[in-house]
Structure formats: structure tokens, C-alpha cells
Amino acid sequence: MSDTLDEASLEGDLTSILSHLIALPSASPPGDTRKICAYAADRLRRAGYETLLPMAAEPIANVVARSGTAKPCLAFNVHADTHTVTNPGNWETDPLRAEIRDGRVYGLGAANCKASMAVHLWLAEAAAGRGGPKKGELVFTFAGDQENLGPGGTCHLHQSGLVKPDILVVGATTGNQLITAERGVLWVTITALGEAAHAGDPDSGDNAIERMMRLLAALQRQVFDHLGERSDGDIKSTVNIGTIQGGRNLNVVPGECAVEIDRRLVPGETADEAFEEIQRALDAAGEPEASFTLERLHGTNGFKGAGDGPGVGAFRAAIEARTGARARFLTPVGACDGRYFADDGIEIINVGPGTVAEGHAANESVSVMQLVDAAVIHFDVVKRLLGFKN
């Protein structure tokens, strides 16, 4: 089979795959990816890949499919779960039924990240149709538990040793440009403890919300006010207090208050160090011993690639060949699953169709042209790095 792509049929193939993926619900919560991963695994098996469906805990399924056994290992990864539809009245279409109009595909996950999943499935079949990789190993992984930053998806594939790439390409909403650096993520919960009492006699209790206010003020002074000093180029260290819960009734002194905090870490900051920094600030706040707790929910380090590895070089050449313009390197905003491999010394590249603004929004959509461009670029990258047997 020729290395030349039939672009006349490419658009139809990609939109058909994406339409099937959109129709398979995989929202988190509950994060049930069994049906969508079974669909992907069936296609990959029929294409000739050695395919596994590893699952750390139901209902979070994953797919690992491989062809070849030698080095280098070029692995593609994309998450199969989506966010939930929180405001269905804001949707102009059925979120679980793809609609193609005005050059775009609409539907839940159309951009984030089922567009990349469609590209990867098409790429796997296109590579298999050309006999598989001429050298090295070609791996495709589809994972759950990404929207929850949980341990059951790519984290499980990494920890179990099922995926050991030399180059990892992570599907992301980058408009087919490149992200080779990513911030680390730390999620924590702080719980302030007090003693409930009647609001008519507040001095007989111990107000947990007031304690939380003092703890947060100490964190602000000692840590958060100084994060602006930490940067790596355009990559910034940030913090967000995302939730706060406390009190049961207006006329009751609250006995407990909890906040959840999201810390984004520049490459070089570690999740362990960031957690310890928060702990030290809380310990120095002057509150009684055992009057608060700090719990680590999730924590992964960031990474920063050199930008001149073989994977980046192949993508730069492929993007330029397709678009006639030089590839751009974007500043990361969200968190992709490549972070689980951040300490492995491998090349990690986030790239794919769609933009950040299109994901996690009502009437989510992706450009059909970007979908086609992504497929052509990814195919070119595999050809440059591994080649095809036929």
C-alpha cells in the first residue's frame, strides 16, 4: 500500500469514527469507559494489534495495543473520558449525537479529547494497513480517569509497566501545535476542626470557619503571595481555592470547615515540596495542635522537554509540510496524562486538533479541517520516525 493518503476519503473516515465515539457515553463522573474502550479495542484487534484492556478498578477501562517489539517505542496516548454536561439547556444539539455543520463536528468530547482519539484510531488502522512499523514499536493507549486526575487510567498503565515509551505523544487540544512542557499538579484538602455550639452563645464553641480564615490568611502571607516570583518563561506557578464547605445552619457555630486547593507547579517544583510548603505554613499559623488536617488528593510533577528530540523534530517537519508554516510551541494551561511519565527521561509531546476553549463548554465542537490536518501530520510523524513495512 502506498504511503500517499487518499484525502478524499480521509474526512469521511475521521468524522465517522468521531461520531461513533461521541455516541458512546464516557462522562466523569462516573467515568465509565468500558463501552468506548471496548469499541476501540475491537477495531485495533481487527487491525492486527496485540490488544489488552487493563482495568485497575471498575468502571474505568483502558486500552493498550502494540505492533512491533524493538526500539524505539513510539506511543500514542489519549483519554477516553469526558466532562459531564452540567447545563444541558445550553446545548443546541444532543451532546451524545454528533452533528456536522459549517465545517465542524459538534458533540460532548468532540474537542476534548475524542477528536484526538479518532485521529489515533484512524492512524493505528492506517499503519496496520501498511504492514505496521518498519522499525521499533508502535503503541496506542486509550485511558480513563483523566478528567478526575485519578489513578485508574494512564497512571495505572505507567505504574504497571504496560507502557514504556521512548517518545510519548499525548492527544491534547493544541490546534495541532506543540506543547513540550507542562506544569505539575497538586490537589489538597484542608480541614479545620472546631466545636459546635448555639449561635446565641458563640463563645461556648470553637468556630471552624474562623479557624479556616486564619489558616488561609497564613497560607496567603507565607506561600501564595510569593508564587508570582516563580516562573519558567511564560509558565507560571499558580494557586486556586476551588471549594469551601462549612457549617450546617445559620444559628449553629460550625464545628468543621474544609477547602480544596489546586496548585499548579512550574517544571522544577515537585508535588512533594509543594505539599510540604503548605504543611509548614499551616503549622506556623499558630492554631492549636490537631485543630486542622491537610490531605493530599493528587500530586504529579511537571516536565520540560529539550525541544530538539527526534519526536519534536518529526512533528516540526510534519507540521511545516502540511501547513507551510513553522510549528509553534504553546504555553500549557491544563494537565495531560504525560505527567505520569515526567520523571522517566523520555520525550513527551502534547498535540492534537481542537482548542482549549472548545473543550468543557456547551456546544463543544472541533474543526473538520483541523481533524484532517491532525491525521496527515500524525501519519507523517510515524513515517518519519518508524517507517512502514509496505
The average pLDDT across 159-179 equals 97
Burial 77-103 (b: 16+ CB within 10 A, else e): bbbbbbbbbeeeeebebebeebbeeee
CA distance 166 to 155: 17
Q: Is 170 exposed, middle or buried (0-12, 13-18, 19+ CB in 10 A)?
A: buried
On whether both 281 and 337 belong to a single domain, the answer is no
Share of the chain above pLDDT 70, in %: 99
Whole-number pLDDT of residue 1: 44
Query: Which of 300, 329, 354 lies at the terminal end of a domain, its last residue?
Result: 300
On whether both 307 and 286 belong to a single domain, the answer is no
- CATH number of the domain within which 318 lies: 3.40.630.10
Query: Which of 300, 321, 341 lies at the terminal end of a domain, its last residue?
Result: 300
Share of the chain above pLDDT 90, in %: 88
Owning domain of residue 242: 184-300
pLDDT at 321 over 80: yes
Query: Which of 266, 300, 334 lies at the terminal end of a domain, its last residue?
Result: 300
Whole-number pLDDT of residue 178: 97
Question: Which residues, other chains included, contact 258 with Cβ-Cβ below 8 Å and sequence gap of 6+?
Answer: 189, 190, 191, 192, 212, 243, 244, 245, 246
On whether both 171 and 311 belong to a single domain, the answer is yes
| Each residue's pLDDT tens digit, 188-223 | 999 999 999 999 999 999 999 999 999 999 999 999
Does residue 1 fall inside a structural domain?
A: no
On whether both 201 and 60 belong to a single domain, the answer is no
On whether both 243 and 291 belong to a single domain, the answer is yes
On whether both 311 and 289 belong to a single domain, the answer is no
On whether both 306 and 166 belong to a single domain, the answer is yes
The whole model's pTM is what? 0.89
Task: Please tell me the total count of domains within the chain.
Answer: 2
Whole-number pLDDT of residue 217: 98
- CATH number of the domain within which 220 lies: 3.30.70.360
Whole-number pLDDT of residue 359: 75
Q: CA geometry: angle at 83 spanning 77 and 86, to 5°?
A: 170
On whether both 307 and 167 belong to a single domain, the answer is yes
Whole-number pLDDT of residue 2: 52
